Structure 1
């Protein structure tokens, strides 16, 4: 049960004054929640910068472009002439000079009421100079001089979304902050003293009421306190889950080698040294009665699947079953196509189970799993639904790990007698991030590419030269090559002038022939997506226009060119993932990054890292330096630790401290029943890590 203390914070935002259903939807969009936003989401919506309104130099001395506050007497109004686009102007003066306030499309009666002639008023906004005269266009604030103290001297600036005004956000935030209770202290007293942490309640108030820039900086005491709370909640949740998983003893796997030898003999290539090391590390982990918790990281095309298959065969040789879970239907089917053909040569029965499996087939598969007829099953989330029972599940492999939460993995592992767990990721994750997201998991890295793969040639080209690129594709298609064209959006949105996939598909179909160009995007039905992929694989279409649905794992070995439009909009890791869709066969491949200039410094740095390197691990480290961990693994929504307050680069010291502290707590008070333990339960609920509490036998 969530502590009653937190109930006001977990009430829907519509419980705050002035928030109706429409505004509640806007707030949900702002804080990135698919369901309804809660009051806590607003409290955790930290400002990104501040506006300092304390500069009052006098009208004659206003610095160009600066935010200033001016006190002056209103002299006259100059309404716009009828039927003209000219602005409405109001003139005021102080002892140093005259200031023009400029308003476009403003209501005259409202301005006359707000700025009465002869009154002394205070205005605040951005100062501009035209023809040697100071002006202010649409001041942010205009109040009578006697109400000057209502003006915020320092005003926090928040990330915003369409349809929301700063004024409404501020009002709602203030109402949300009133609901913040005095929390019990869940951080060790010694750490609080040594780090100079304020209480969590003080920290939240300080973040939203900064006195200057330094109050919202990453190293401010308030920000560090909230980052520590967030890290501690995450690490404690991982530690509780992990200790629970470790307690359930694993069963040693004793492979005979008969099946894996048959599969190895059927492979057209020898395993790389890295693959051999990974296989022996996995078999070594599974040979003990402690459950394996290993992550297999490999760059795009480094051959993780074959390592996973050999691990599954080891389990089958010992009479057990294995599952491989992928995040999408396309990926699950692809794994199935690759694995089933090999495994069946060794007489191993492989099944595919996804949300799209027909009811009759599903019943048969469920029977095969329950009686042990099926040895290996590959699928999506459907693998751990209530009615799926296993005969003897000994190994669970989770692909593209970061798309699943810790707790989804747990539900899967509860299916068997605590199976061994191997997670695979094609997004190389820097060590610090692995620790933050997954705790102390053992990691195997595959850094070599299989023999015969050629490096991908990467070039950057400005969008103005798109005609040249289309010409080059025409030649490539005439030679029988296959190409991808990646667009960042599905359909036109006024807010972002990006070429949508649908429109780009239309223009390319006109230029290259409609029968040659296919289209695939996230809003299509699964059947249409599969059909588009199939047509591209079989060569019926030669150019596939796609959104990032093809980012992970889609395998068309004879595709050799990929064009990524608006490359400056993608993260480095994502660009590297997309680039990995080509270069999967023996032919030389190329990646064309189309960008819209002028590039920001970060944009330039990002594209040049990609141009100069094919090494996913180096790219991931650079991405972490350039952008921070929140976006490193694709979007914040992908279930990775996109931290709200913490930053791995800025707060690495307290992340290490939180991990150590979490380990200490779980050792000393595994059920969280002490006074501090009870406070920590509140912390876990506050940061929505309450799933971990269900793993405490006491609650």
Structure 2
């Protein structure tokens, strides 16, 4: 017998060729696809007492018609129909818009079921749906009706009818896909019952249990992919066992012009332990802005080179690549290491020379953008790849790096502190190291929120700081004036601030400038030849000026919390007290909440947690990313407890020997069939 995942949806009665085409647009091709197309909410048709309904709420009530209907026509084809209805001993007005055809049915003393918005002051229900249950049973009365994401010629009533037909005809074929011990352990509904109850919830308890089952399933199957990938790498032991010499590392650390924090020492040890293992390292290094992650990465790269391997550092932008290349050259120059820079703006000749140097082993460490993973880049003996701020890299993309050598170790860095739930989801295939301490002597940045009419005071504060030989950033979201967004733009603001400070050097930096011009502007600011730098968010990464003590962010409500925190981290990098001034007139509650959070805490992990709550996981990194799945039922924020439970269960299962023995258990075979749909596991040996 075919499974429901193989039966075309066209075989269902009532699905015409036209309807089949429209269902295909929703990704529904088979009966299995249809049954897994869950409603995103429910219409509540359960009868309520009017006294329990809050003003403005939508509700379903039962009443008796007490007056003849009044029909008013206005406009072109528009109408208002109303009558008095007794509901729970209260006389209310029921109003229908553009439903003049109901007039004949609204007869005295007839029972009517009304669904609509309750206006307590007017004692009025604006009716969206009505039925007359006296003559026949109402199909919706006292039910929760599913609401699906639809379009075209597909209506809710047709979708509900079609889903009921599919459940009736094929519901018995819905197979369990979780190990039975986990179903029993967590007292979950069977998959068949959960699917049925999500479409036909019956009551809120059954619907809640069905959702709990499907949330767990979604999170477990996703986590199983990550944990199996992780376990598979450990089992292979075909990575690079880099025999890093502890004395070599100690000598390098002692030669640094500063002392490592306890957090840096701990993470260095965790990374070195991984590097010495025969299985490939896959580790995430996260820490707040300015916590010293780059130095930790530099130590790991130095250890790899001294053990006879090459290292690579991949970053998202050219400006950051140039910054890191300069930093590594300064750290490594007295130790004889050769550092190369590979970006898209290299001339053809310089690119050829660089690629030749990599292939011959002349270059020890290369810093570059995504150009590093292009097909024509070959290494002599690559041992360690470090990626910085690569949120876009999901499991599939990160696995590409392993082909650049004999499965090199991979260390991913992020200066965006990631809430635990998001780290488990986006980076669940990785071990995680965290630096929470800031370097010795760092002072917390004082953050203030002011309205636009206080900008002159903020500029006056810049004047005082510059008089003390400090410097300042002024950030705005746009480069040029936009008709669509009435926000401050960098070019106009640069002109205005240059006029306000005619005796100071005011620089301008934005992403459209040529790389050479950016370097010149940044160099001038770093040398204190420029006292004020007006810029777009290009300074979020790549600019490190310890003498800068003021960060003014214009139209701050237009930035996400994590981005605001990243921008704030451009100051406070030296010994002097630093300040961040948010200039904003937020009209939304979310905007006001962002300003409140920024002024309350300097802790990047707390900022990240609040940002996840405000913006949701899909937009946490500023855009939908390939590393973040879009779940049908689960929500990473509200379902975080189930996420952690699913992660632990998936990790335990992936470490069972029986899981890797093909055919050892029927349920494991089904799970492997799920995993094999992912390119990572296609063609992999299970033994």
TM-score > 0.5 by shorter chain: yes
- Cα distance between partner residues in 1 of 2:507 and 2:436: 35
Quote how far apart the aligned CAs of 1:588 are.
2.5
- Cα distance between partner residues in 1 of 2:418 and 2:654: 23
SS of the counterpart of 2:69? Answer: strand
Match of 1:101 in 2: 95
1:282-431 equivalence runs, <5 A: 282-430=271-419
Match of 1:188 in 2: 179
| Residue 512 (structure 1) aligned with residue 497 (structure 2) | yes
1:17 alignment partner, one of 4, 19, 34: 19
Structure 1 residues 114 and 489: alpha-carbon distance in aligned structure 2, compared to 1, 3 A threshold = farther
Say how many residue pairs are matched. Answer: 647
Confirm or deny: 8 A CA contact 1:571 1:631 kept in the other structure.
Answer: no
Match of 2:682 in 1: 694
| Residue 80 (structure 1) aligned with residue 95 (structure 2) | no
1:150-169 equivalence runs, <5 A: 151=140, 154=143
Quote how far apart the aligned CAs of 1:301 are.
0.6
Structure 1 residues 228 and 16: alpha-carbon distance in aligned structure 2, compared to 1, 3 A threshold = farther
CA deviation profile, 1:241-263 (whole Å, cap 9, x unmatched): 22332213344334568987896
Confirm or deny: 8 A CA contact 1:227 1:651 kept in the other structure.
Answer: yes
Match of 2:47 in 1: 55
CA deviation profile, 1:493-531 (whole Å, cap 9, x unmatched): 98xxxx565x544663564348957474xxx66x66885
- Cα distance between partner residues in 1 of 2:7 and 2:496: 59
- Cα distance between partner residues in 1 of 2:560 and 2:178: 35
CA deviation profile, 1:379-422 (whole Å, cap 9, x unmatched): 23322222222211111212235431122222202321122222
Match of 1:30 in 2: none
| Residue 613 (structure 1) aligned with residue 601 (structure 2) | yes
SS of the counterpart of 2:124? Answer: strand
2:569 alignment partner, one of 570, 580, 586: 580
Match of 2:5 in 1: 5
Confirm or deny: 8 A CA contact 2:230 2:430 kept in the other structure.
Answer: no
- Cα distance between partner residues in 2 of 1:343 and 1:179: 66
2:471 alignment partner, one of 481, 506, 512: 481
- Cα distance between partner residues in 2 of 1:171 and 1:468: 58
SS of the counterpart of 1:68? Answer: strand
Confirm or deny: 8 A CA contact 1:141 1:151 kept in the other structure.
Answer: no
RMSD value over aligned CA atoms? Answer: 4.8
Quote how far apart the aligned CAs of 1:484 are.
3.7
| Larger Cα-atom Rg | 2
- Cα distance between partner residues in 1 of 2:28 and 2:552: 38
- Cα distance between partner residues in 2 of 1:15 and 1:322: 57
CA deviation profile, 1:655-698 (whole Å, cap 9, x unmatched): 2552244324565335577522331134347xxx6133226226
1:269 alignment partner, one of 255, 258, 269: 258
Confirm or deny: 8 A CA contact 2:452 2:585 kept in the other structure.
Answer: no
- Cα distance between partner residues in 2 of 1:61 and 1:614: 44
Structure 1 residues 206 and 327: alpha-carbon distance in aligned structure 2, compared to 1, 3 A threshold = farther
Query: How high is the TM-score relative to the length of structure 2?
Result: 0.77
Quote how far apart the aligned CAs of 1:197 are.
1.9
- Cα distance between partner residues in 2 of 1:305 and 1:174: 59
| Residue 560 (structure 1) aligned with residue 549 (structure 2) | yes
1:535 alignment partner, one of 516, 521, 525: 521
- Cα distance between partner residues in 1 of 2:153 and 2:523: 50
Structure 1 residues 196 and 284: alpha-carbon distance in aligned structure 2, compared to 1, 3 A threshold = closer
SS of the counterpart of 2:386? Answer: strand
- Cα distance between partner residues in 1 of 2:138 and 2:354: 72
Query: How high is the TM-score relative to the length of structure 1?
Result: 0.76
Match of 2:115 in 1: 124
Structure 1 residues 353 and 65: alpha-carbon distance in aligned structure 2, compared to 1, 3 A threshold = same
Confirm or deny: 8 A CA contact 1:232 1:658 kept in the other structure.
Answer: yes
